[in-house]
Amino acid sequence: MRRLLLPLWLIVAVLTVRAAEPVATADTSPVVQIGAAPAWVQPESWTLPVGDGPGGFPAEVLLIDAQDSLTAGSSEYYFHTVVRLLTAAGVREYSRQTNEFSPAYENVTWHTLKITRDGRVVNRLPGVKFTRLQRELELENQLFTGLVTAAAVLEDVRVGDVIETAYTLRSDNPALRGILGARHYLGSMCPVRREVITVHVPADAPAPAWNYFIPPATHGLPEALFRHAALRSALEDKSTAAGRVYRWEAADLPAITFEGGIPTCASPYWPMLRCSSIRAWGEVADWAVPLFASAGELPADAHRMVEKWKKDLPTPADRLKAAVRWVQDDIRYFSMAVGEHNLRPRPLADVCSTRFGDCKDKAMLLTTILRELGFEAWPALVNTELRDRLDEYGPSPVAFNHAIVAYQFEGQLRWLDATLKHQQGPIGRWAVPPYRRALIVRPETTDLSVVPSDDEKEPDMVTCDRITIDAATGTATLTTEVTVRDLQADFFRQSMETTTPEVRSTHWFNYLGRFYKKIEEVDPPVVRDDPVANRIVMTARYRIPGFMATEDGNTVISTYAYALRTLLDPPETRRRHWPYALPSDRFVRHRIEMDLPFDLPYEQQPQTIRTDGIEYRVEKGLAGKRFVAEHDLRFTGDYVPPEHMGSFCDAVDEILGAMSTSLHKGAKEPAKPAGPSAKAAVNPPASS
């Protein structure tokens, strides 16, 4: 999804970031300054431990020392780290020093760059050269940030060296003036001997609200970082008459390990300590109202277009449709999130003249047009990753990464994502992704609003296979029909812009070939779009030689609900530390209708398997020569807790087995799917 808000400040320690072709800009001014640490910084000491260090890691972090001085204007963020290099991989990782920042309102001053080797300390800062790079790593995603990277490559770095660095980032984003805020990601992928966070707040400022935001449902990760009670107990208020000072400290932190398949709701994946002068969502709305209003009025050309709609289009619904079509389809998505425009929408005159905008630009443009057409409308802020975990995140201007539109139509509050394209369906009932929570940008807002999801009474994708079999040759003809609706139809419609029929045919053929090895294409996929119902139907026809086979003197016919495998694969891990992601909010069905060349007495009762985040139901039946199977797979959660992975894997194995059906002619008893796992909840068989 689109990114609206970039971090309030950048917690830049010692990183390795790869880019295909980093480009040095023409700016010849120093990319960073060299100078003493600010006077408010409190020195933190460290000691070199005895011994070789922990095995299995490239480095050992001896000290993470982060200190913030927050003011209503420019704030300063001081970062001090000490790292001992244990392997050649550690040398590669930490011999490059980088800072990423926005030169429009941020600057960096380096204070310390030392290497300790065999008890001797060498100051490397005077001789190091920082190069300015503007890499624009998100450009392929239509996002231009204007961020600059200051990069330095250290010479003569060896295993056993201790690298000590310290620098200060000064930030003064005009869009955030008057708001005090800081956030720190805690821990490291290497063991940490000591981590200290210190936050200075002016004496006349209100005490900030503190929030401890950790990924959900982790297991076996460092308790000091992944449990709220431990995080809270480590924070101390050391305020004096001169000012408020808060200090968080922890020692001997184990390394944080990551795994594949982590759900996006675990973002930002690191435990986070956050403070803010904002304590309520209503305050965030009060901040956002003038920010979005600064986009101004519609330019004259756009205003004339709206007036023409008022004259030519007879109903409010027609005018609403025209406005949505124009903003979604004629204003392309491209984000110029340079400087304060990582938060502030661009002027509407610029958006209309350039014919591009990001989510907040398009949301404000559509909001303004709808208001001129007589609708009540507002921008609304969402987080495409956290979604309803915004409730836990707490009030903050930087809690969001996307903007949509809320509007009143036919007496109801409706939602629309202006960055989607080619949306169809009933006017005013366009599908919206399951964002779950939104902050409506209007003065009366006091809390987050619930963005309702689809009722999911009907599947969003239905695959229907109709199979006939030539008794003489054993060859089957498979006619497959796939129907997608609502949001999935919108997504498919967008994908057709960049996918040729030939590519679609090849992709579909290769996927079916995983399950039917001898498949041959007869008629390539044909797409029919029903925009009124927002439903797309794709049909294709195939031939499968040898579909009816002979095994040990028995005739065997096998089918598989392959469409469900697009969303459900066997997990690669049964033992995990992190939750296992599921394609939440999806409901798919695969129906198989097959005419057999012979009679069979086979009959299968309904079966339901439920496990964490999944509900699967199948009904298989055979009456004479007609076999019908209907498989439903519904995802009811965002993830599987790691403690439940064993039972989940057992249930998935059971589901995958039930997706397959083998019919036997000549055997004493037809083969049936394996019984449900004892660890999965199964409904009792219903009478047929």
* pLDDT, tens digit (0-9, with 9 covering 90-100), for 609-651: 999 999 999 999 987 799 999 999 999 999 999 999 999 999 9
Shared domain for 419 and 466, answered yes or no, is no
Confidence (pLDDT) at 432: 96
In a domain, 154, yes or no: yes
pLDDT band at 226 (very low <50, low <70, confident <90, very high): very high
Shared domain for 63 and 180, answered yes or no, is yes
Rounded distance between C-alpha atoms, residue 223 and residue 533, angstroms? 51
Residue 96: strand, helix, or coil: strand
Shared domain for 479 and 594, answered yes or no, is yes
Supply the CATH number for residue 312's domain. 3.10.620.30
* Cα 612–Cα 617–Cα 621 angle in degrees, nearest 5: 160
Judge whether residue 370 has pLDDT over 70: yes
In a domain, 10, yes or no: no
In a domain, 687, yes or no: no
The rounded Cα 492 to chain-centroid distance in angstroms is 19
Expressed as residue numbers, the domain containing 442 is 283-450
Confidence (pLDDT) at 14: 28
CB 352 within 8 A of CB 343: no
* Cα 128–Cα 78–Cα 44 angle in degrees, nearest 5: 95
Q: Which residues contact 109 (CB under 8 A, 6 or more apart)?
A: 32, 33, 34, 35, 167, 168, 170
Supply the CATH number for residue 240's domain. 2.60.40.3140
Judge whether residue 25 has pLDDT over 50: no
Confidence (pLDDT) at 35: 96
Q: Hey, what amino acid is at 335?
A: S
- Among the three residues 403, 420, 450, which one is the final residue of a domain in this structure? 450
User: Average of pLDDT values for 210-226?
Assistant: 95
CB 277 within 8 A of CB 283: no
Mean pLDDT of the chain: 90
Judge whether residue 317 has pLDDT over 60: yes
CB 236 within 8 A of CB 199: no
* Alpha helix positions (H), 326-373: 348-354, 359-372
Confidence (pLDDT) at 602: 66
Tell me the percentage of the chain whose pLDDT exceeds 70: 92
Confidence (pLDDT) at 437: 98
Shared domain for 499 and 605, answered yes or no, is yes
Indicate the number of domains in the chain: 3
- pLDDT digits over 423-446, tens only? 999 999 999 999 999 999 999 999
Judge whether residue 684 has pLDDT over 70: no
Rounded distance between C-alpha atoms, residue 257 and residue 189, angstroms? 6
* Cα 171–Cα 340–Cα 201 angle in degrees, nearest 5: 35
Residue 339: strand, helix, or coil: helix
Q: Hey, what amino acid is at 641?
A: P
Shared domain for 419 and 340, answered yes or no, is yes
Confidence (pLDDT) at 554: 87
Shared domain for 257 and 392, answered yes or no, is no
Confidence (pLDDT) at 351: 97
Confidence (pLDDT) at 553: 82
pTM: 0.89
Judge whether residue 594 has pLDDT over 60: yes
pLDDT band at 27 (very low <50, low <70, confident <90, very high): low
Residue 68: strand, helix, or coil: strand
Specify the length of the chain in residues. Answer: 688
- pLDDT digits over 90-126, tens only? 999 999 999 999 999 999 999 999 999 999 999 999 9
DSSP 213-232: E--TT--SS-HHHH-HHHHH
pLDDT band at 18 (very low <50, low <70, confident <90, very high): very low
Shared domain for 181 and 287, answered yes or no, is no
Rounded distance between C-alpha atoms, residue 595 and residue 589, angstroms? 20
- Residue burial 352-361, b: 16+ Cβ < 10 Å; e: rest: beeebbbbbb
Judge whether residue 564 has pLDDT over 90: yes
Single out the residue of 365, 354, 374, 382 nearest to residue 295, CA to CA.
365
In a domain, 456, yes or no: no
Shared domain for 91 and 231, answered yes or no, is yes
- Among the three residues 393, 428, 450, which one is the final residue of a domain in this structure? 450
User: Average of pLDDT values for 480-507?
Assistant: 95
pLDDT band at 13 (very low <50, low <70, confident <90, very high): very low
Shared domain for 499 and 485, answered yes or no, is yes
Shared domain for 237 and 351, answered yes or no, is no
Confidence (pLDDT) at 28: 63
User: Average of pLDDT values for 654-683?
Assistant: 62
From edge to edge, which strands make up the β-sheet containing 660-665? 548-551, 554-560, 660-665
User: Average of pLDDT values for 69-73?
Assistant: 91
Judge whether residue 679 has pLDDT over 50: no
- Extract the tokens encoding 289: 């109202």
Residue 671: strand, helix, or coil: coil
CB 190 within 8 A of CB 58: yes
Q: Are strands 402-409 and 181-185 parallel, antiparallel or unpaired?
A: unpaired
In a domain, 6, yes or no: no
Rounded distance between C-alpha atoms, residue 397 and residue 343, angstroms? 9
pLDDT band at 453 (very low <50, low <70, confident <90, very high): confident
In a domain, 18, yes or no: no
CA 534 to each of CA 8, 87, 258, 410: distance values in angstroms, whole numbers, following the listed order: 39, 57, 40, 20
CB 176 within 8 A of CB 343: yes
pLDDT band at 336 (very low <50, low <70, confident <90, very high): confident
User: How many CB atoms are closer than 10 A to CB 624?
Assistant: 11
Shared domain for 236 and 359, answered yes or no, is no
- Among the three residues 278, 308, 325, which one is the final residue of a domain in this structure? 278
Confidence (pLDDT) at 240: 84
Shared domain for 225 and 288, answered yes or no, is no
In a domain, 48, yes or no: no
Let me know if 24 is exposed, middle or buried by CB neighbors in 10 A (0-12, 13-18, 19+): exposed
Let me know if 654 is exposed, middle or buried by CB neighbors in 10 A (0-12, 13-18, 19+): buried
* Cα 171–Cα 196–Cα 255 angle in degrees, nearest 5: 105
In a domain, 3, yes or no: no
Judge whether residue 269 has pLDDT over 50: yes
